[in-house]
Amino acid sequence: MIFNRTYRYSTPLSKEDIKQRLLGKHLQVHQLDFEVLEKEEMLKIIPHAEEVSSIKTLPITHVEMQANSASGTKIIVTSKPRKIDVGGPYLIVIFCLFCIIGASGFYLMNPAESFLPSLVMLSAGLLIFIIFWLRMEAGYFDYTRKIRDFIKQNIK
How far out from the chain centre does Cα 132 lie? 13
Same domain, 120 and 68: no
Higher pLDDT, 11 or 50: 11
CB 26 within 8 A of CB 34: yes
Judge if 45 and 107 occupy the same domain: no
CA 50, CA 58: separation in Å to the nearest integer? 12
| Separation between Cα atoms, residue 150 and residue 156, nearest integer Å | 11
pLDDT tens string 25-58: 888 888 888 999 988 888 999 988 777 667 678 8
Burial of 49 (0-12, 13-18, 19+ CB in 10 A): middle
**How far apart, in whole angstroms, are the C-alpha atoms of residue 63 and residue 106?**
47
Task: Kindly state whether residue 50 falls inside one of the protein's structural domains.
Answer: yes
Question: In this structure, is residue 138 part of a structural domain?
Answer: no
Q: Are residues 69 and 103 in the same domain?
A: no
Residue 139 lies in a domain: no
pLDDT digits (tens, 9 = 90+) for 60-108: 999 998 887 777 889 999 999 988 888 999 999 999 999 999 999 989 9
Indicate whether 13 and 38 sit together in one domain.
yes
Is residue 75 assigned to a domain?
yes
Our count of domains for the chain comes to 2
75 and 150: one domain? Answer: yes
Number of CB atoms found within 10 A of residue 107's CB? 18
Q: Give residue 21's domain range.
A: 5-82+146-154
Answer yes or no: are the C-beta atoms of 89 and 132 closer than 8 Å.
yes
